Structure 1
Amino acid sequence: MNKPEAQAPANGSINLSRRGFLKGSGAAAGAFVFGFSVPFSQSALAQSESPEVNAWVVVQPDETVLIRIARQEMGQGSLTGLAQLVAEDLECDWDKVDFELVKPGRNRERDNVWGSQFTAGSTAIRGSHEYLRQGGAAARMMLTEAAARQWQVPASECTVSEGVITHEPSGRTTTFGAVAQAANDIEPPKTESIRLKDPKDWRIAGKDKARLDTLDKLDGSLVYGADFSMPGMLVAVPKACPVHGGKLKSFDAEKVKNMPGVKQVVRVDDETVAVVADTFWRAQKALKALPIEWDEGENAKVSSESIAKKLREGLTADTSFIGNQAGDAKDALAKAERVIEADYSYPYQNHAQMETLAATVRWRKNGCEMWGPTQVPGTALEALAEAAELPQDVCEIHTMRIGGSFGRRAATDYIRQATLIAKQIPDTPIKLMWTREEDMLQGRFHPVTQCRLRAAMDDEGNVQALHMRISGQSIMAYAMPQAMSDKGDPVVYQGLDPEGDMALGYSVPNLLVDHAMYNPHIRPGFWRGVNLNQNALYLESFIDELAHAAGQDPLAFRRKLMAKHPKHLAVLEAAAEGIGW
């Protein structure tokens, strides 16, 4: 199934006693609904505008278990992993599990009970672990209690396995589906009364199970955002100024208005024009023929060479943001008899996801809807409402599966564009489709950086000081300026922090990690792995250089530097053993 999405509380807790979320209009007869959505059929969803009732577990009379997923699936298997967490403590039959996605507008209507629907940073499973298991366990307890009441026996005498409830003393059995309706009348258990399974007894979570999101990809039935269609829909193909920061001066719509299928040529914003036609091919063909005049501005003079030159200047700049510091690295380096130095660079990277950006928007005076993929449904809803100039209460995102993202759909520029076009053609579904050429030109690129590392070594090859100067672009300065701190952009130092999940795994008596920020006009964005990509490359390449200079085995050299970092050392040892070093 390919259905709409939800999320968990921001604090990771779950209010299991809110019966208002379990009772709602339109529930399928006989179904048990816990924590997520009323189990509308797909046809009912299409025909009904009534609000869904958020729930985590939906058990239908035919034994199908629908599990609502809080995060987006981008190819890494998190959708299945999250469902496994719920199913494990629910004790259902995995072969009868399906999933649904929840719309952010529904989440908002329910007082944001699932918190943010943000999917990034490899947090989908580790950020949802406990409360999803609690949701499954609580649903199991309610279903068991319903069966026990029918049998007039204590629930403590009942066991559950693969969706079958058994009264041990009498041998009587029933199924989840048979007691689903009765379970809706059971008061959810308090969080403190829920007992989760010991991981050693797991049979679903963490096990090799068939993924829930594979079959429809293989048989071609999955509808991606670029595939989506609805009656009366038109297709818009945009083109923005090829120089970031440039402007759209003019275009001559008269030259293409009579081309086959063309419906309209619209100014989207200060830098973008779009052709709207009955098909993608006709819109793209007209766009290529459209005379456009751009004001490229001063940024047209910038080149790869001029950017690289500015970055090189940053390697020796007097001012910088400090991300990690111990001792006095500059002084130790100045006094050292032996200093090893190396410079590295990392270019711009484009996401180049398989499915280019697409979103279908229908704007009406009393509401606006979007059908399409996004990593950030809540933020996408805000962007939709802002561009539509309508309250969020009358806007909705129908979240669709993603055909690749790697961070690109954490941005909402394509949603804004689609909405601005649809607003000019009211009551008509407009599917915005970027060409691959536009995707490559107008991406939110992984930032460009250079790095200089300098280390002082004693006669025995011990590192006495290390200065790591990063020169280059900040994502946060562009995308989230409110996240900047006295360290500048905190994301720059991924893998180099003094403590936490992104801590540096080496100890050096005198250490300085700093950032000379330089932001070219090329728009940056989060790209899978973000700054850890280049930081690991820079640092580990340099550690190899130091080991070579010291005449030591690279593994032994690292072991000494990692002596105070047992987790990092354990990973190093496992890697060494795995490759037979």
Structure 2
Amino acid sequence: MLKRRTFLLGGVGAMGALVIGWSALPPRQRLVASAPMPVRAGEAALNGYVKIAADNTVTVMMCRAEMGQGVHTGLAMLVAEELDANWADIRVANAPLDSIYNNIENVTGDLPFRPDNDGVAKELAIWFTRKLARDFGTIMTGGSSTINDLWQPMREAGACARSMLIAAAAQRWDVKPADCRVEKGVVLHDAGHRATFGQLAPEAARQPMPRKPVLKDPASFTLIGKPLARIEAASKMDGSAVFGIDVVPDGLLYASIAMCPTPGGTVRRFDGSAAAALPGVHKVFAVGAFNGGTGGVAVIADNMFVAMHALDVLTIEWNDGPTRGLTDAEVDRRLSQALDESEGHAWYRHGDVEAALSRAAQTVTAQYRAPYLAHAALEPVNCTAQVKDGKATVWAATQVPAVARMHIARLLGIGTDDVDLQQQLIGGAFGRRLEVDFIAQAVAIAREGQRRPVQTLWTRPQDMRHDFYRPACLSRFRAGLDAQGRLIAWHNTSVSQSIVAKWLARNYGIPDLGFNVDKTMSEGAFDQPYEMPNVWIGQRLIELPVPVGFWRSVGHSHQAFFVESFIDELAVAARKDPVAFRAGLLTHHPRHLAVLQKVAGMSAWRAPAVWSDKGVKHARGVALHEAFGSVVAQVADVSFAARNTIKVNRVYCAIDCGMPVNPNLIRQQVEGGIVFGLSAAFKEAITLDDGAVVQSLYSAFDVVRMDECPDIVVAIMPSQGHPQGVGEAAVPPIAPAVANALFALTGTRFRSLPLQMPLYSVEATCPG
């Protein structure tokens, strides 16, 4: 009989052999789902992304959420290009939940490597991670990864479908496939044969799928690279677009909820008798805290106004959340103390920084701060759900549909196949819809809805005060310049909370073991291109009870402000022009240098960057940053206005995002990112009073309005490279560009966000 040890060793050896064998296999295909594609009468599915109907319409299945970034248009263009479809015949629909739609490149993008690290270890890690993500990852929209991730599979889906249509036509006409061609949704043959996609689709669906479809040479692209209008634009203009908040199934009830003022708190006891007595109220009950959220008391009523009014007559006692007693001063103290105690994990080191600092002709030190930030998307948190007959139907605007479905099933004690999650358009997300607390909460409320659908809608104050915030961060710099003003030493460390650890804990139950590593919090600091002979860049993570989550551009959002502002300080100390100083650090990074030179040319950069125009003093500031694979440089033009206000007159932006799939979408995202970043730079901060969030409305957490928006000039660099992220890349550089311009204008260096000046209020101008 085998001994236990022998059995275990044999099992481990066999498992090791399986893992090695699995890792040696090529990544699995991403075109054929595990279950047949649902089709309607007259439709034929050619793969997991393409369905063709008898009327010649081509439906492209969308596995990413449309939340204003235009990805449904960009993805449809990839398929239509390789398919040679007629663009007017293209339609989009939400894909089912299947592992072929898992987001692979977002996971590989979070690996802890610098972009210019070309080592074998990085290549092996990316290979292995891609395989893991394909089989065990999740469907997710985020990290500016959609086009990057689906560039290959969506094009392959179109190419495969095209090949199958040609094969069907050749078989029908008894000719060679090589003698057939496709033009705008029609397969043609020189002998005069002609058939539309719709006529051929049923036969094409029976053709074998090519194992290695031949993709077009970019020189022959007819759609990719064109500024096509957004595919959903018309529906948004005429009001027919359905966002999460617009869902109105038959028999709908409405729910509102009063949540504990301190995040993470729960209900101790409550008196809901007065609320329950109001006409139109169906039920009043306590709701727990889900997935890192906050507990409260919910009211289900005939309409939202009754439900919200009923909250006013509730009497509630709370079990305060873990933030109770926390203040901004205490957060700042603990961040400072953490850096005093330890510099944390070194993400990038090279040379001997301390020795270089000791021999520097000049040393420069600085400390920078960034606050907590809310997402504050225009569409407030909402979700509609119906629990009936052991099944659930959920209408949700989410960035993580598979994670949401998993938690819905767990909450209700049913299988995931019994959860019908219907994805809706999202009215802004910026990372907030990567959380599922509000979805689980809505399902728990709907469970009390007597089998009727219930829409749970948060008010703006609830949305802002029960968010998962961009972490506050503190960063310290030491740098050394030689006698010629050359940068010879760079030491930087920052401290914040970890997002990844908390997100994994609340959504996957992975224990937060307190590891002092989270690449997303140091990105924007350790992964920038500047060439320095001696460098040390680290990150310290600490525990604070404030709930934190992914915010548009994540760590880049504050690290770019820190790094690019300090680079500017060094340029001033070295008595060098800020553009020239940066260019001198990019000798071996021609892509970054080209973007920097492009924005300098666009803005007619001059040294010094201060001048007078018709008696008004102007100044310009510059910033360069790489994020999500894209390189962005911006120049901000600011000036004094009447009543001692500051005007942001114009922003120049150059971006290299790889091959521009749709310049129209790229320009929109760049412009939106700049406005988003300007809002955070001047107007936004989340503050705490006794553990509760103070801000509740846009009046206290404001955004740049249309009549305040500066003129924005965008240049998209030509490229044949793999498309990179766009949705977040323009956010990080705008704050340092403006701060650097303010220094040139006022002589004051601003090292904390938001940019609050003691003598001047902030005002922007209309374009033109």
Instruction: Give SS of 1:309's match.
Output: helix
- Which one of 331, 335, 356 corresponds to residue 307 of structure 1? 331
Q: CA deviation at 1:89?
A: 0.6
Q: Distance in 2 between matches of 1:451 and 1:488?
A: 16
Aligned pair 1:518/2:542, yes or no? Answer: yes
Instruction: Give SS of 2:68's match.
Output: coil
- Which one of 302, 306, 313 corresponds to residue 282 of structure 1? 306
Matched ranges for 1:212-251 at <5 A: 212-251=231-270
Residue 59 of structure 2 corresponds to 66
Residue 215 of structure 2 corresponds to 196
Aligned pair 1:493/2:522, yes or no? Answer: yes
**Paired AA for residue 182 in structure 2:** V
Instruction: Give SS of 1:352's match.
Output: coil
Please list the CA deviations of residues 82-137 of structure 1 after superposition, one character each: whole Å capped at 9, or x if unmatched: 000000010010011111002327989xxx99973211001101111111111101
- Which one of 28, 31, 36 corresponds to residue 41 of structure 2? 28
Aligned pair 1:211/2:235, yes or no? Answer: no
Q: Distance in 2 between matches of 1:564 and 1:106?
A: 40
Residue 116 of structure 1 corresponds to 138
Q: CA deviation at 1:566?
A: 2.9
Residue 194 of structure 2 corresponds to 173
Q: Distance in 2 between matches of 1:315 and 1:18?
A: 49
**Paired AA for residue 183 in structure 1:** A
Unaligned 5+ runs, structure 1 = 1-10, 36-54, 498-502
Aligned pair 1:158/2:171, yes or no? Answer: no
Matched ranges for 1:333-482 at <5 A: 333-334=357-358, 336-480=360-504
Residue 265 of structure 1 corresponds to 284
Aligned pair 1:558/2:582, yes or no? Answer: yes
Check the 8 A contact 2:32/2:100 in 1, yes or no: no
Q: CA deviation at 1:16?
A: 5.7
- Which one of 10, 14, 21 corresponds to residue 29 of structure 2? 14
Q: Distance in 1 between matches of 2:437 and 2:32?
A: 39
Please list the CA deviations of residues 486-516 of structure 1 after superposition, one character each: whole Å capped at 9, or x if unmatched: 651111111233xxxxx22112222111223
Instruction: Give SS of 2:539's match.
Output: strand
Instruction: Give SS of 1:129's match.
Output: helix
Q: Distance in 2 between matches of 1:245 and 1:140?
A: 53
Please list the CA deviations of residues 311-360 of structure 1 after superposition, one character each: whole Å capped at 9, or x if unmatched: 23234323522222222324443554521011111111111111111111
**Paired AA for residue 119 in structure 1:** T
**Paired AA for residue 342 in structure 1:** A
Check the 8 A contact 1:348/1:446 in 2, yes or no: yes
Identify the range of structure 1 (267-276 vs 399-408) with the bigger mean alpha-carbon deviation.
267-276
Check the 8 A contact 1:16/1:189 in 2, yes or no: no
Aligned pair 1:76/2:76, yes or no? Answer: no
| 1:556 to 1:239, Cα distance in 2 relative to 1, 3 A | same
* Percentage identity across paired residues of the two chains: 34
Q: CA deviation at 1:18?
A: 8.1
Q: CA deviation at 1:580?
A: 2.4
Residue 205 of structure 2 corresponds to 184
Aligned pair 1:536/2:560, yes or no? Answer: yes
**Paired AA for residue 239 in structure 1:** A
Q: Distance in 2 between matches of 1:440 and 1:567?
A: 39
| 1:103 to 1:242, Cα distance in 2 relative to 1, 3 A | farther
Please list the CA deviations of residues 425-458 of structure 1 after superposition, one character each: whole Å capped at 9, or x if unmatched: 3522121111111001001111111111111111
| 1:15 to 1:340, Cα distance in 2 relative to 1, 3 A | closer
* RMSD of equivalent CA atoms: 2.4
| 1:103 to 1:258, Cα distance in 2 relative to 1, 3 A | farther
Aligned pair 1:141/2:153, yes or no? Answer: no
Q: Distance in 1 between matches of 2:265 and 2:326?
A: 12
Q: CA deviation at 1:17?
A: 7.5
Please list the CA deviations of residues 514-565 of structure 1 after superposition, one character each: whole Å capped at 9, or x if unmatched: 2232332221110110110111110010011100011011111112222233
Number of residue pairs aligned between Structure 1 and Structure 2: 538
Instruction: Give SS of 1:299's match.
Output: coil
**Paired AA for residue 315 in structure 2:** P
Q: TM-score when scaled to structure 1?
A: 0.87
**Paired AA for residue 204 in structure 2:** A
Residue 593 of structure 2 corresponds to 569
Give structure 1 regions of 4+ aligned residues with deviation exceeding 6 angstroms: 17-20, 105-108, 112-115, 483-486
Check the 8 A contact 2:243/2:425 in 1, yes or no: yes
Check the 8 A contact 1:262/1:275 in 2, yes or no: yes
Instruction: Give SS of 1:464's match.
Output: strand
Identify the range of structure 1 (474-483 vs 286-295) with the bigger mean alpha-carbon deviation.
474-483
Residue 653 of structure 2 corresponds to none
Aligned pair 1:329/2:341, yes or no? Answer: no
| 1:444 to 1:155, Cα distance in 2 relative to 1, 3 A | same
Q: TM-score when scaled to structure 2?
A: 0.67
Check the 8 A contact 2:99/2:138 in 1, yes or no: no
Please list the CA deviations of residues 275-320 of structure 1 after superposition, one character each: whole Å capped at 9, or x if unmatched: 1111111101111221112232663321112212222323432352
Check the 8 A contact 1:103/1:396 in 2, yes or no: no
| 1:427 to 1:20, Cα distance in 2 relative to 1, 3 A | closer
Q: Distance in 2 between matches of 1:536 and 1:325?
A: 19
Q: Distance in 2 between matches of 1:286 and 1:119?
A: 36
Aligned pair 1:57/2:50, yes or no? Answer: yes
Residue 21 of structure 2 corresponds to none
Check the 8 A contact 1:322/1:487 in 2, yes or no: no
Residue 320 of structure 2 corresponds to 296
